[in-house]
A and B are shown apart, each in its own frame.
Chain A
Amino acid sequence: MLHEHSPERRNLVIQLARLGDLVQTLPAIEALQEVYPKHTLDVLCAAPLTSVLAGAHRLGRVIPWDGAQWRAWTDRWRENPIHTLQAMHAYVASLGETAYERVYALNQHARSHLMTQLFSRRSSREDEQDRIEAHRRPWAEYLRHIATHRGNNRVHLADAWCGMSGVRPRGRAPLFQPPAVDLPDDLASIGKRQGLWVALVTGAGETDRCVSPATWGRWTKEFLTQTDEGQVVLIGSGRERETGQAILESIPTLLQGRVWDATGRTTIPQLMKLLHKCRWVIGADTGPLHLGSLMGSRALGFYFSHARVHETGPYGEGHWVYQHARQAQPDSWPIMESIALICDEQRRAAADWTLWRNRMDRWGTRFDDGSGQESVEEARATVWRKLSPTLCESVAA
């Protein structure tokens, strides 16, 4: 007698934001895989970022979403709506299976909600999706509130996305193996010889979060002067090539042999491999810091402007963040202090900056400044109990 083949059960996570957000989604992805081990979990993300997830364990499909194509269709619709609708149909069909049992949309914009409907199995929309929405909504409102009013939030964004997905953080950070890609010949020897390899993130996604080439030049010069075993790898996109060059030129010629300019020369997998080869990654751009911690390097962030350590600090344990006291562009930078931290694990204060280190606990990751505030954990627990009471009941049990 033939057994009826049970259809595969598939869930989908939608994360359309930038690099850092996609990496910060991994704790939720891994927690969902743990809770639903028999379900296949797919991820839909921005097309240029699909390679980030190539090393994720047990992940089903990584579906590329081509936002540029959709923007082009807005023009094309005006010329020929019929062909545009046909093209959209063909595009969605080309993505393969689109009838998911559960869809976890982590972005707050309207497109994300539309995708939830587009990718939900029709029969599951009203019951299962309602349950997911019941988990999602309180966290979504909380995140909107934090984005608007800031306040004293201590729940990390990656953990909030766990809450939105109806799962608890697993208590450990995701860790990827390096991709099997070749580096450009002149960068291939990075990390191979003994040394304190540091990847330096030269730019930032937003202009107001950029550290000047002069500051990075000073940092590099001081670091290389202080430690003979220091090696610096400049990383960044094609837009940062000039910045990389400016940093390099600001360093004495004798030290330049220990600086490796990889700006604009790596694909995402190559960048991941580079980061894996470095012991530390330092910078003000959260995306590469998250990617670095995912690849096993220790992250040290300079957070200022809108960046806030408690929400978007590097995920996991043993990473450090210097948080500036004000939102304005800093007047001074913790250059010597951060070098002391990297070289000797010396925790030094810097004027206008507070230093935070992260740890993992049952609510995910948290940052403390060494002042031993026990109330921090309790504050996070309160948020979790309020926003995800059923999850907290299971913890208590």
Chain B
Amino acid sequence: MNLLDDNVARLAVRNEPLAAAVKAKTGGAFTIEPARTGVPSARRSGRWIHSAYDPLREAETWAETHAPACREGETVVVAGIGLLYHVEALRKRLASDVAVAVLIADLDEFHDALVARPLGSWADHILWLSGTPVEIADRLSKTGRPLRCLSYAPATHSDSDFHRAFEQALCRGVARQTGGQLTIALVGPIYGGSLPIARYVRRALETLGHKVQWIDHSVHASSYEAMGALKDARNRHLMQGRLAEVLSQWTLAFLAESPPDLVLSLAQAPLTLPVLEHLRKKKLLTAMWFVENYRHLTYWQQMAPGYDYWFVFQRGACLDAFRQAGARQVGFLPMAADPELHRPMDLSDEERRTYGADVSFVGAGYPNRRRLFPALLHRPWSFKLWGNEWDGADELRSVLQLNGARIDTDTCMKVFNATAINLNVHSTTGASLDPQADFLNPRTFELAACGAFQLVDSRSQLPDFFTDREMLSFRNFDEVPGLVGQWLGDPAARQTMAAAARTRVLSAHTYVHRMRDLLGHIGLSQPDRVGAVLRGDRQQEALLARCAEEAPLESLLKNFPAGQRVELKDVAARIRSKGSTATLKREELMVLMLDEYRSETRDLL
């Protein structure tokens, strides 16, 4: 028998279908070449998968780096197979109660690995995972074990789509297990477009059952604005910068009162880099949802290393730019809608007259809109323009509503609901449509959630979220008058499309979905912290179930109600409630002792 046959025979003992499938493959994904040390190494498309000098040593180093983080009871999922040197090294380093699973994205690669190297007995203790990314993720989620994902980067490059889809499916799987309650400090901005989003996020997190500590900096907006009245730009920036620093410290003081599991900031939240670094030293997890166009607002370049997690609504170059700026982890998290606010409304006739029109636009007067919208004047249909920052747009004065005053969310919803065709033109500082149309604005989802018909400028992400039966888009603004004329005359078709878009948003694009994904992402990379809470591992019943043979802890836990998350401070508080004269058991004294040390460690300031 040759190496492949030996290896397939070994594999077949535990996984016959996989053994048969890999044997049926022809391989050829890798070019096998001997390394300097004589053992086989491999290349794919010219790139080395393993060291050309010493693959064994390289694998040992990789395993040495990752093994310390792996905890008993976890399943460690390795992405990237190569010739399996790293898998072997990791398996040998880990205790038997840590399971190791390997993702097989490409059976030809696996075939090549089995031709090149013999599988040892270590391979009998590997869970080989093949199938579609979703199938594998479902299978892993159902095990109920904490998952820790490791990537052997040189070997994942060629199957990046597979691995991305797998990670996404796994995040969703983790997010679905929301059995536990996290405490999340939500840090909002002083003012601006991310402020209402912070409020939607808050509601979404609470809907998911998490406890939100809302750090609302908008209460300081009037002071910030007052400083904005200073004529000297240097003084203005200095004073506003100082206020932001004070608010950053204030956030720290707030967090010190009751440290959360996660600090989640929305774009423009006044948290400075030193404060973020301080939080990391104190082992608090931090995340930022940067709900801004990264090309326009660029302060993230200085802040990138500060947060543990960044979430952005642009992909591709944006993700790369954040990583290059020092962001540890960057994930894609698009905008969404909040169906409690963004919803169909029953409007009176008067409201329909006031807020309605054949065509409406709600938004600020960015340069491209100022240049494009005059083409919508003097048409056989009515056009209304709502929003602020339209000063100087004299041509549009006749259609500008409320003298260009900022409108509140309620008014905005009425406009959306009362308008036949809502125009959604993404902002840009240029003269025409956004040439780098790589994200969807909140308005896209909000209009859809209202069941309002919209005409949106074409975006590269649009097909990922809505089909052309759910949303109508245009590539050139010249198309708009024609499309308006066409769709104004077909209310039934508009209603069908708008209803389909609303259904789509409710099923996949609400802030609840986004927060589930965000927490799933963090939970997956922090299986023993956020992940454990999400799995419900800290719930009284889960703890009780796990301490069947640990009578002292059982006696401490059984007085808590089922469903309650129980942390050290809760157990300590329950013991203290017995009073200072109570005779305490040894384990009770030890818990109190530990809680004293916890108080010292948690001394954030």
Query: B597, A118: Cβ atoms under 8 Å?
Result: no
Q: How many A-B residue pairs have CB under 8 A?
A: 74
Interface assignment of A35: CB less than 8 Å from any CB of chain B: no
Choose one: A71, A80, A85, A109; the contact of B590 (CB below 8 Å): A85
Given A81-B553, A111-B593, A114-B592: A89 in contact with B568 (beta carbons within 8 A): no
Could you say which interface size class chain B belongs to?
Answer: 20 to 34
Closest residue of chain B to A98 (Cβ to Cβ) is B586
Residues in A neighbouring B567, C-beta threshold 8 A: 78
Interface assignment of A206: CB less than 8 Å from any CB of chain B: no
Interface assignment of A117: CB less than 8 Å from any CB of chain B: yes
Query: A89, B592: Cβ atoms under 8 Å?
Result: no
Choose one: B71, B584, B594, B597; the contact of A117 (CB below 8 Å): B584
Q: Scan residues 103-130 of chain B and give those whose CB is less than 8 A from a CB of chain A.
A: none
Interface assignment of B164: CB less than 8 Å from any CB of chain A: no
Residues in A neighbouring B594, C-beta threshold 8 A: 70, 73-74, 77, 84, 88
The secondary-structure label for the interface of chain B is helix
Query: A118, B593: Cβ atoms under 8 Å?
Result: yes
Shortest B137–chain A CB gap in Å is 24
Interface assignment of B583: CB less than 8 Å from any CB of chain A: yes
Query: A111, B597: Cβ atoms under 8 Å?
Result: yes
**Which residue among A70, A71, A109, A115 has the maximum number of chain B CB atoms within 10 Å of its CB?**
A70
Query: A71, B546: Cβ atoms under 8 Å?
Result: no
**Which residue among A92, A114, A115 has the maximum number of chain B CB atoms within 10 Å of its CB?**
A114
Shortest B142–chain A CB gap in Å is 22
**Which residue among B552, B553, B568, B594 has the maximum number of chain A CB atoms within 10 Å of its CB?**
B594
Alpha-carbon distance A88/B543, docked complex (angstroms): 18
Alpha-carbon distance A122/B583, docked complex (angstroms): 9
Query: A117, B589: Cβ atoms under 8 Å?
Result: yes
Query: A88, B597: Cβ atoms under 8 Å?
Result: no
Alpha-carbon distance A72/B489, docked complex (angstroms): 70
Residues in B neighbouring A111, C-beta threshold 8 A: 593, 596-597
Choose one: A77, A82, A92, A110; the contact of B550 (CB below 8 Å): A82
Residues in B neighbouring A78, C-beta threshold 8 A: 528-529, 532, 567-568
Query: B597, A115: Cβ atoms under 8 Å?
Result: no
Alpha-carbon distance A284/B553, docked complex (angstroms): 48
Closest residue of chain A to B543 (Cβ to Cβ) is A81
Query: A85, B568: Cβ atoms under 8 Å?
Result: no
Q: Scan residues 504-546 of chain B and give those whose CB is less than 8 A from a CB of chain A.
A: 528-529, 532, 543, 546
Alpha-carbon distance A85/B551, docked complex (angstroms): 11
Given A67-B597, A78-B568, A111-B597: A85 in contact with B550 (beta carbons within 8 A): yes
Interface assignment of B600: CB less than 8 Å from any CB of chain A: yes
Choose one: B543, B550, B600; the contact of A86 (CB below 8 Å): B550
**Which residue among B552, B553, B589 has the maximum number of chain A CB atoms within 10 Å of its CB?**
B589
Residues in A neighbouring B586, C-beta threshold 8 A: 89, 92, 118
Alpha-carbon distance A110/B599, docked complex (angstroms): 11
Closest residue of chain B to A73 (Cβ to Cβ) is B594
Shortest B376–chain A CB gap in Å is 58
Interface string of B261-298 (1 = CB under 8 A from A): 00000000000000000000001000000000000000
Q: Scan residues 567-605 of chain B and give those whose CB is less than 8 A from a CB of chain A.
A: 567-568, 583-584, 586-587, 589-594, 596-598, 600-601
**Which residue among A71, A80, A92 has the maximum number of chain B CB atoms within 10 Å of its CB?**
A80
Alpha-carbon distance A79/B543, docked complex (angstroms): 11
Given A82-B546, A82-B547, A86-B550: A77 in contact with B568 (beta carbons within 8 A): yes
Interface assignment of A10: CB less than 8 Å from any CB of chain B: no
Residues in A neighbouring B71, C-beta threshold 8 A: 79-80
Alpha-carbon distance A114/B532, docked complex (angstroms): 30
Alpha-carbon distance A118/B593, docked complex (angstroms): 10
Q: 4 tightest CB-CB pairs across the interface, nearest first? A: A74-B598, A79-B528, A88-B590, A70-B597
User: What residues make up the interface of A, taking CB atoms closer than 8 Å to B?
Assistant: 67, 70-71, 73-75, 77-82, 84-86, 88-89, 92, 109-111, 114-115, 117-118, 122, 125
Question: Can you give 20 A-B contacts (C-beta < 8 A)?
Answer: A71-B600, A73-B594, A74-B568, A77-B568, A77-B594, A77-B598, A78-B528, A78-B532, A81-B543, A81-B547, A85-B550, A85-B552, A85-B553, A89-B586, A92-B586, A110-B596, A111-B593, A111-B596, A115-B593, A117-B589
User: What residues make up the interface of B, taking CB atoms closer than 8 Å to A?
Assistant: 71, 283, 528-529, 532, 543, 546-547, 550, 552-553, 567-568, 583-584, 586-587, 589-594, 596-598, 600-601
Query: Given A70-B597, A79-B71, A79-B532, 16 more contacts at CB 8 Å?
Result: A70-B594, A74-B594, A74-B597, A79-B528, A81-B568, A82-B543, A85-B553, A85-B587, A85-B590, A88-B590, A89-B552, A89-B590, A92-B586, A109-B596, A111-B597, A118-B586
